Amino acid sequence: MPQASAPASETGLDWLPGPPGDADPAFNGWWAAYDLADVCRLFGVWIVHAGKRILAVFDPTMEPELVAYASELLAEARPYLSAHMDKLPALAPAEAVEIIKDTMRAHKSLRFCRGEAGSRWPLYPKTWTAGQRATVQSLWFVAGPALDRDDFKGVDEK
């Protein structure tokens, strides 16, 4: 799967300020964000926002236990990150569609089927890791209706 995350120096959390005081209500959320930033740097995770949604785009080779740990940190950090949404990188729906198409080119077994009203739904290969599935799912959420409108030109279909 192509690397769906930003370059290693960009995690989406590089802007984090120093810690607030331990009496500050944001203290626990900041620490979760700080720990998440370490996971991002070490394992190629990218934290972005799409509208009001904060998402993690995982390195597809990431172990399921690390995906779960990063997801827990993100859940704990979400209130803090929501208060600083303007500092998170925005991922546009068209960019998410292009990453999905690159992934489909690299993994011919990743397919999308048509759901009700013509929307597309991912069909994951059975052998995929949690990181691979979580990455495509995050991108699918971001792509939204843009994915439904895309004709998938340039993606070889079986």
Question: Domain boundaries in the chain?
Answer: 93-149
- Per-residue pLDDT reduced to its tens digit, 90-113: 988 888 888 888 888 878 888 888
- Per-residue pLDDT reduced to its tens digit, 31-46: 999 999 999 999 888 8
Q: Are 59 and 1 in contact, with CB atoms under 8 Å apart?
A: no
Q: Which has more pLDDT, 36 or 20?
A: 36
Whole-model pTM? Answer: 0.76
DSSP symbols for 91-103 = --HHHHHHHHHHH
